[in-house]
Structure 1
């Protein structure tokens, strides 16, 4: 009888010990707001994120570039982490003005610039102002005439997100951390959702739900003015087009970039990635940026 009692007690103790040794699964948490990412040392490199996103999308790429460059990735005005954007209409020039102010605060008269989507469009404007040593455009927006059918489709595509965003705000943390919702959110942003970490996906969703200037920027970019002829750019340019871009597909939206950029510009299709390739292929994007940065100095360095 005693032996049986001791055996039961030992099993109970062993069960408690096993339970104690297995750490509890951490609860998902909301990503922290990020006003700007500033890491590394070396050549100054400005990274500009896309519409309704945040500097979080650059974290992995910036980490890979930080051994060779001083990387600065700010949040756009009116976006999550950025300064408030004044007025009911915010255009590319207004966004570029604030980025210029930040460059002046850093003491960067010129820098290398890489921009994704809206960030690419702003990067072109900064290059026209003489602020870019090199320019890497990653699935850049703005490759349409104003007015045009392509421009109208783009505006309607983003306006259709308004009710979805309102629902997401009501769902709160559930919308940010739910695996099913995360997969759905990645459909327009990536080709291979499994390659994107849950943390990066949560940050992308949080940024989308917290973009107060969404409508102001849609109105501002719709009203124009449109981009000037891209053939006048004096900055060395590398154009990176995502093979599976579902937001602004290459066939309809990359024509101006492909046609008008100077013959000296690189034109590269990045295979197997979506509209925000830094999320699923940070190594490849870092390498392609670094190659362009250092080719401009007539020497090669490994990333």
Structure 2
């Protein structure tokens, strides 16, 4: 029997990239302070008909290092493009969550996306703006907690209380998120070297270009119980600017990182969009 003061397993290991399956090329992009681990359950479900590649962003846990104190979406996209070139993927299907959705729009603008599934995407604000400032403050408030967490013993840092707090932030149905997924989210946050540089330089990020001119087929997935970037404020620009042909879907009863609590639903929604692009049929 394991005592209450020790952990039965070691903390999760860093992952440079998750690469599995065969078929249509599918790029999965994680959110700010997260890692490829958040895509593991979705990747397992997609691997039978897609070659799935989920890299760690620059400055994030498992990803390449960077120099200086400025890191923006364009730089993250540059590195992902290099990886796509290394794999021989001129274009691919892309699904991105939060910051990953923002990078996905940038890659689509560069002509690298066959389709884009944007899951609770960040970046739906003007620069500078009050909305952008509010997002920065929300993440800035996490900095002290992350710094304290780095110095705690594992049995506290990964305790049930901490896992529950993280689950409440990232999901709606906290019991549906696996222990492994939550522990990876905790570890990702504590090892995110890009956290302060991206927050400090965030006000200088250029805003997303006019989304109405985007030619890539887009499926926008808004999360009903998003506590990080609530839909009422942060989805407005996507809803108003995306072309009429874009799918706009409200995913009920999920939080900001729905892959952790509803991998079946998210995999299905991505797969529908990929299939519709191949068959020229609209998924409903």
| TM-score of Structure 1 vs Structure 2, range by shorter chain | over 0.9
2-structure distance, mates of 1:182, 1:151: 28
Structure-1-length-normalised TM-score: 0.89
User: How big is each residue's C-alpha offset from its partner over 1:52-77, in whole Å with a ceiling of 9 and x where there is no partner?
Assistant: 00000000000000000000000000
Alpha-carbon deviation of 1:299? 6.5
Alignment length (residue pairs): 279
2:141 is the counterpart of 1:160: yes
2-structure distance, mates of 1:76, 1:29: 23
2-structure distance, mates of 1:176, 1:63: 28
CA RMSD in angstroms comes to 1.5
2-structure distance, mates of 1:95, 1:182: 28
2:234 is the counterpart of 1:253: yes
Q: Which runs of 5+ in 2 are unaligned?
A: none
Q: Which runs of 5+ in 1 are unaligned?
A: 1-22
Alpha-carbon deviation of 1:220? 3.1
Alpha-carbon deviation of 1:85? 2.1
1-structure distance, mates of 2:67, 2:207: 21
Contact 1:119-1:140 within 8 A present in 2 as well: yes
Aligned pair partner of 1:59 in 11, 33, 40? 40
Alpha-carbon deviation of 1:261? 0.2
Alpha-carbon deviation of 1:217? 1.3
What does residue range 131-210 of structure 1 map to in structure 2 within 5 Å? 131-210=112-191
1-structure distance, mates of 2:63, 2:201: 17
- 2:265 is aligned to 284
Structure-2-length-normalised TM-score: 0.95
2-structure distance, mates of 1:72, 1:249: 28
1-structure distance, mates of 2:155, 2:122: 31
- 1:10 is aligned to none
- 1:93 is aligned to 74
2-structure distance, mates of 1:285, 1:176: 29
Q: Secondary structure at the match of 1:115?
A: strand
Alpha-carbon deviation of 1:24? 6.7
2-structure distance, mates of 1:172, 1:234: 49
User: How big is each residue's C-alpha offset from its partner over 1:78-108, in whole Å with a ceiling of 9 and x where there is no partner?
Assistant: 0000000222010110000000000001000
User: How big is each residue's C-alpha offset from its partner over 1:136-192, in whole Å with a ceiling of 9 and x where there is no partner?
Assistant: 000000001111110010011111111111111111413442001100111110001
Computing the radius of gyration from Cα coordinates, the structure with the larger value is 1
Contact 1:37-1:74 within 8 A present in 2 as well: yes
- 2:205 is aligned to 224
Contact 1:90-1:219 within 8 A present in 2 as well: no
